[in-house]
Chains A and B, each alone.
Chain A
Amino acid sequence: MKKLALYLMIAVAAAACASHEQRTEPQVTDRSSGVNTPSTTQGSNTLSPTNPNAGVTGNELHSGVLAKRSVYFDFDSNAVKDEYRGLVQAHSRYLNDHRDQRIRIEGNCDERGSREYNLALGQRRAEAVKKTMTVLGVSDGRIETVSYGEEKPVAQGHDEAAWQQNRRADIKYRGE
């Protein structure tokens, strides 16, 4: 853990520099978390000396297991399979260690079926990943679940090889 903390401080220092440069830009309001979410973290970021998410690039979120962001699902299923438990646990641990970090989980479906129902199914997949994380101690308000349904396939084909890549939930940290 000490080693991790050290890496983190380096990352934070780098990120803080980056963020100061960005401050000259006009502030853009983050509306992605909707109207019902407490919005205290946005302001506190600039004051926190251990702010890990002022700039996401270049930190430990892009190496090791934390670089893995996608959970894949079976057809017509929103069960998080055992092979993705480790991935979800790693991100939950990271979130528990970085209390001002927030994520969005984006659900996706393959192209089969009705668009709007698929949008809701994708959201349920995202919700299933979120539930695993909340069980592991990440607070509900720090995770927004959204869906692209069948609208943003990463694989463009029309067969099972493509479909299995598109039945997916992606973990995105703020700013990504």
Chain B
Amino acid sequence: MPRLLQRTLLFAAFLCAAVAARAQLTIDIVGGAGTTIPISIVPFDADAGGPAAVSSVVAADLARSGLFKLVDGSMASPRPVSASQVRTGDWRARGADAVAVGSVRAMPDGRVDVRFDLVDAVKQQTIASQSYLIASNQRRATAHKIADVIYEKLTGDKGVFSTKITYVVKRGTRYELQVADADGFNAQSVLASNEPIMSPAWSPDGSRIAYVSFDQKKPIVVVQNLAQGTTKVMAQYRGNNSAPAWSPDGRWLAVALSKDGLTQIYRVPATGGQAERLTDSSGIDTQPNYSPDGQWIVFTSDRGGSPQVYKMPAGGGAPQRLTFDGSYNVGPRYSPDGKSIAYVQREGGRYRIASMELATGQVQVLTDGTLDDSPTYAPNGKMVLYEASVGGRGQLAAVSGDGRVRQRLTSAAGDVQDPAWGPLPTN
């Protein structure tokens, strides 16, 4: 299927399947990076006013990354609309190293023509120039694409502003699996239940989400196709069925099953089929996660007496212990480059997110909460999204991979749990 059609269907499905989104997430940055890139996002010509303006969404995206300092460009007169009108000396004087300018024009057929240029004020060069002819309801999505271009040009890393996140919202006894833009907007409910929903995991192509359902009064693993809304039971064995993780090639789902006694790790073909056992310990083995190259699985095991992080070959085999500090290190997730893992560690009764550089074993505690859980890397590896319990209520929070920038994503209603950051959109 052509990608555009696939995406259009996906979007349409979100709109159709949507229960009105009530849990808008808002974001506050509670920390700051050491160095930031000063940039001015000049209000785009003929743009809408207020926070919904394309240029406002671009500015908010960049600010949220913690890597940029916004320089106010609204007072520039005359206001530049394209690169040729940017007088770099003036912008250097205002303290901006880069300037983004653009326009948003409604076309007679109802579509919108969005153009933008990015100018390096130091080198006095135009470093990006793009135009987009879009449907009028695609302004936010286009703003995220522009922010991605700016982010990548100025930092060298892929932007993640056009990605999706999923998470579970709990209100009383009502559970919803929601999918939202990475900035928390456009939250859509893809599943609602009066029983718990746990551990959502995106398929590598972003078309499906595996999760744990309790609709059968016990945990089973289900995969839901987002565009079609169809579901398929992947593991419903005797006992518990949980902790789904996709192999990077999308062929396998690693799962934790208790069908043979205590919880152990198995894999099932993503097309459905029999579970094949991968671990064989006398303790608990759970929370599998594949390395990005598909060669390894990291997981939690308490075979040594306390729960620790281990890794093993993806097809099963001799495990190797990775964590040694403390008596509780669980729930590992590989970074997208495969060089680090993020996991939950307990120290002094506090549960926090830590990361370990695998080559050196160097551990860094990234968060300072009391009950942090479920770390999930942004697909560019620069941020870790996680669940933070604040006053007994789950909230989403994010921290930069180096621990220096922290954000909290607050929801108006309910407990927000178990986030999972989706893949980069495929172009």
Which residues of A are at the interface with B, using a C-beta cutoff of 8 A?
31-37, 104, 111-117, 119-121, 123-124, 127, 144-149, 151-152, 157-158
Q: A145-B258, A148-B214 are in contact. Are A34 and B236 (CB under 8 A)?
A: yes
Q: Are B238 and A34 in contact (CB under 8 A)?
A: yes
Q: Check A158 against B218 for contact (C-beta < 8 Å).
A: no
Chain B residues near A34 (CB-CB < 8 A): 236-239, 259
Chain B interface category by residue count? 35 or more
| A120 neighbours in B (Cβ, 8 Å) | 240, 242, 256, 258, 262-263, 284, 286
Residue of B with least CB distance to A147: B240
CB distance B346 to A116 under 8 Å?
A: no
Does B186 sit within 8 A of A, measured CB to CB? no
| In contact, A117 and B392 (Cβ under 8 angstroms) | no
Q: Residue of A at shortest CB range from B375?
A: A114
List 10 additional contacts besides A112-B351, A124-B263; criterion CB under 8 Å.
Answer: A35-B236, A112-B371, A113-B328, A115-B199, A115-B417, A116-B330, A117-B284, A120-B284, A121-B284, A148-B214
Cα–Cα, bound, A4→B218 (Å) = 33
Residue of B nearest to A104 (CB): B218
A116 touches B236 (CB 8 A): no
Q: A114-B344, A152-B196 are in contact. Are A127 and B262 (CB under 8 A)?
A: yes
- Which B residues are CB-close (under 8 A) to A147? 219, 240, 258
Q: Please give the distance in Å from A38's CB to the nearest CB on chain B.
A: 11
B243 at the interface (CB under 8 A from A): yes
A124-B262 contact given A31-B216, A113-B328, A116-B286, CB 8 Å threshold = yes
Q: Is the Cβ of B371 less than 8 Å from the Cβ of A111?
A: yes
Q: Name which residue of chain A comes closest to B244, CB basis.
A: A116
Known: A31-B216, A113-B330. A123 touches B239 (CB 8 A): yes
Contact between B240 and A151, CB atoms less than 8 A apart: no
Whether A113 pairs with B284 at a CB distance below 8 angstroms is no
By a CB distance below 8 angstroms, the chain A residues around B379 are none
Task: Digitize B347-361: 1 where CB-to-A-CB distance is under 8 Å, 0 elsewhere.
Answer: 001010000000000
The answer for the CA separation of A157 and B240 in the assembled complex, in Å, is 26
Q: A34-B236, A34-B237, A146-B239 are in contact. Are A114 and B261 (CB under 8 A)?
A: no
Chain A residue nearest to B345 (CB atoms) is: A114
Contact sample, A vs B, 29 pairs, CB 8 Å cutoff: A31-B216, A32-B216, A32-B218, A34-B259, A35-B236, A36-B237, A36-B259, A112-B349, A112-B351, A113-B330, A113-B344, A113-B346, A113-B373, A114-B300, A115-B373, A116-B256, A116-B331, A119-B243, A119-B263, A120-B240, A123-B240, A123-B262, A123-B263, A127-B261, A144-B238, A147-B219, A151-B196, A151-B198, A152-B196
* A37 partner residues in chain B, CB cutoff 8 A: 238
Given that A115-B373, A117-B307 are known contacts, is A146 also in contact with B300, CB under 8 Å in the complex?
Answer: no
Whether B262 pairs with A119 at a CB distance below 8 angstroms is no
Closest Cβ of chain A: how far from B405's Cβ, in Å?
24
- A27 to B426 CA separation, bound complex (whole angstroms): 46
Least distance between B310 CB and chain A CB atoms (Å)? 13
With a cutoff of 8 Å between Cβ atoms, the chain A residues found around residue B418 in the complex are 115
Interchain nearest-CB distance for A6 vs B (Å): 33
Q: Which residues of B contact A113 (CB under 8 A)?
A: 328, 330, 344, 346, 351, 373
Within the complex, the shortest CB–CB distance from B374 to chain A, in Å, comes to 7
Among A104, A112, A151: residue with most chain B CB under 10 A: A151
In residues 286-330 of chain B, which contact A (Cβ within 8 Å)?
286-287, 300, 307, 328, 330
Q: How far is the CA of A67 from the CA of B351 in the complex (A)?
A: 37
Contact assessment for A123 and B351 in the assembled complex, using a CB-CB cutoff below 8 Å: no
**Most chain A beta-carbon neighbours within 10 Å: one of B218, B328, B330:** B218
| Complex Cα gap A116–B198 (Å) | 8
- Tell me the complex Cα distance, A36–B235, Å: 13
* Contact B374–A115 (Cβ < 8 Å): yes
Alpha-carbon distance A31/B208, docked complex (angstroms): 25
Which residues of chain B in 357-395 are interfacial with respect to chain A, using CB atoms and an 8 Å cutoff?
371, 373-374, 389, 392
- Closest-CB distance, B304 to chain A (whole angstroms): 14
Q: Residue of B at shortest CB range from A157? A: B392
In the A-B complex, list the 7 residue pairs whose CB atoms are closest, starting with the nearest: A34-B238, A151-B196, A120-B263, A146-B218, A158-B392, A120-B284, A114-B331
Give Cα distance in the complex from A61 to B328, angstroms. 40
- Chain B contacts of A35 at CB under 8 A? 236-238
Q: Quick one: which of A33, A35, A114, A115 has the most chain B CB within 10 A?
A: A114
B123 close to chain A: CB less than 8 A: no
What CA separation (Å) do A102 and B256 show in the bound complex? 24
User: Which one of A111, A114, A119, A158 lies within 8 Å of B240 (CB-CB)?
Assistant: A119
Question: How many angstroms from the CA of A104 to the CA of B373 in the assembled complex?
Answer: 29
User: Quick check: B287 and A114 within 8 Å, CB to CB?
Assistant: yes
- Return the chain B residue nearest A151 by Cβ: B196
Expressed in whole angstroms, the Cα–Cα distance for A123 and B302 within the complex equals: 14
B230 to chain A, nearest CB (A): 19
Shortest distance from the beta carbon of B367 to any chain A beta carbon, whole Å: 14
- CB of B217 within 8 A of chain A? yes
- A36 and B238 contact, Cβ closer than 8 Å, known pairs A111-B371, A117-B307: yes
- Chain A residues whose CB sits within 8 angstroms of the CB of B287 once the complex forms: 114, 116-117
Residue in A33, A112, A116, A144 whose beta carbon sits within 8 Å of that of B242 in the complex: A116
Min CB distance A129 to B, Å, is 14
Question: Is the pair B331, A117 in contact by a Cβ cutoff of 8 Å?
Answer: yes
The distance in angstroms between the C-alpha atoms of A35 and B259, with both chains bound, is 10
A92 to chain B, nearest CB (A): 19
- Give Cα distance in the complex from A88 to B319, angstroms: 37
Contacts of A124 in B (CB 8 A): 262-263, 284
